[in-house]
Structure 1
Amino acid sequence: MRNVFLFAPLLALLLASCATQSARPVPPADAGSIDSARQMQLERERILRGQTDWSLAGRVAISNGRKGGSGRIDWQQQGDTYTVSLSAPVTRQSWRLSGGSRGARLDGIEGGPREGADAARLLREATGWEIPVEALGDWVRGVSAQGLPQATMQFDSQGHLSHMEQGGWAIDYRWPETTSAAPVLPQRVDAVKGEAKVKLIVDEWAPISP
């Protein structure tokens, strides 16, 4: 099954348009501010790792060579349990990936639901897409993934994480302009590993009440 989520050209154009409007690069940090940025990042990660229940709503484009798809994404995370729902308004297709430490389940595909111990492998076998689900749950919030080799990071002049490399993936970030005292969450995330690409534009972040 390689056509779970058909490519939506109109939505892809919308994604490109939104990216152009919101992706205003900030100059890199100078040598004197790198240590401060690293300390800021360590504090962000400490706080965010304690906030295990969260959700996001936005738009995503996924490709792996010539195969690709795009649509709306809703991600609900509670501890190590997640539900990721994708829908394409143009084709009216949708699927849902849910799982946690005990494995994963993929609904909405031909032939009925599929289950497996590894979410990334399950997606790869069902769709042909390379998506590091568990790590992406950290990366989308601008946090290095646990269980992988140490990440290398670069920062912009405002102290925000601008680029991270971990587990063979390269992740670029764009951040909203805000004066909030709470840890800032990314507005756009681009993750690339070879031909595999995941582009995410977040429209809304929200905590999940217990």
Structure 2
Amino acid sequence: MSVALVTGANKGIGFETAKQLRELGHVVYVGARDVERGGKAAASIGARFVRLDVTDDASVAAALATIGADEGRLDVLVHNAGVLGDEGVDGPAALRVFDTNAVGIVRVTEAALPLLRKSDNPNVVTVSSSAGSFWAVTNPDRPEFRLPLALYSASKAAATMLTVQYAKSQPGIRFNALEPGTTATDMTAAFGIGRSPQESAAVVVRLATLGADGPTGTLRDEAGELAW
């Protein structure tokens, strides 16, 4: 059985991704900051809970140490934890958004690499956004053109670049970034838009279960590779 870790998985796309991977027979670890909510979410789908705060080095190290001790490897890593950062633009806000959306990817990836290298078919998926695509935000025909989320967009551009750079430095592991589609979650509630998290999670799962001949170092949506 394949072993998967999904960060920020107690709700939204992360929870649905964990659920669908579990339904496919994976051993799934639900990573979340809140022990009570994360534990309940994991129990509801027959997954395992591991406390994981992507902004805390000790938390990340402990979570991956637990998975390593229990499983000995990691086959699928989904970077799903993220924040919108719509509370205004200043230094502290920028640090908070980038710490979660970009630096968190570095923390978790670096801690996970030894376990991913032990997998026969390692896949890493970053739930990024086309809001971080220069092509999209400068194209008047795209909805991202009018999205007033500077810190979110900039941090997602960083998340996608990290994905590409990891793909180059770790050729034995597939790294892909994903635009999951506009999804109705707690994060987008203020906008009143989006499809169900189940639909977007299905896109994540397809990318997380790629075969050895699958792409790496790309930003994709359900239709294929995106310019960015």
Q: TM-score, normalised by structure 1?
A: 0.33
More helix by share: 2
Q: Quick check: which has more Rg, 1 or 2?
A: 1
Asked which structure has the greater RCO (Cα within 8 Å, sep 6+), the reply is: 1
Q: TM-score, normalised by structure 2?
A: 0.31
